[in-house]
Structure 1
Amino acid sequence: MFGIGMPEMLIILVIILIIFGAGKLPEIGGAIGKGIKNFKKASNESEEIDENSRPKKIEPK
């Protein structure tokens, strides 16, 4: 995973815990989750727009 092993991940998590404190972690996690959800929703909407904006091929009769 991006060249980061388990010990490095634990160190990063401890640093985050020290900086933000245990009380803020649920808020931060919720905000990150909402951001990811909105990003996925926006990317799905852009795909739908792309499909609808393509000109339809008209076959001559």
Structure 2
Amino acid sequence: MYSTTDRKGCRSYHSNPETCSACPLLEHCTRSKNRQKVITWHVREDRKIVCPLQGKRNPG
């Protein structure tokens, strides 16, 4: 679930602790005491993944 975006453009996503507490893979996913996974993703992260591939020329 989306939580917030900070000044640097990073979005934070927090999992639902009630859902995660029942998951058998919880200990592999997070060590958080409140049983919540937090993922931070920059708003332009998808562009960072694509951009290195753009502009490269095929050496013929």
Structure with the greater alpha carbon radius of gyration: 1
Point out the structure with the larger strand share. Answer: 2
RCO higher in structure (CA 8 A, sep ≥6): 2
Same fold (TM over 0.5): no
Higher helix proportion (structure 1 or 2):
1
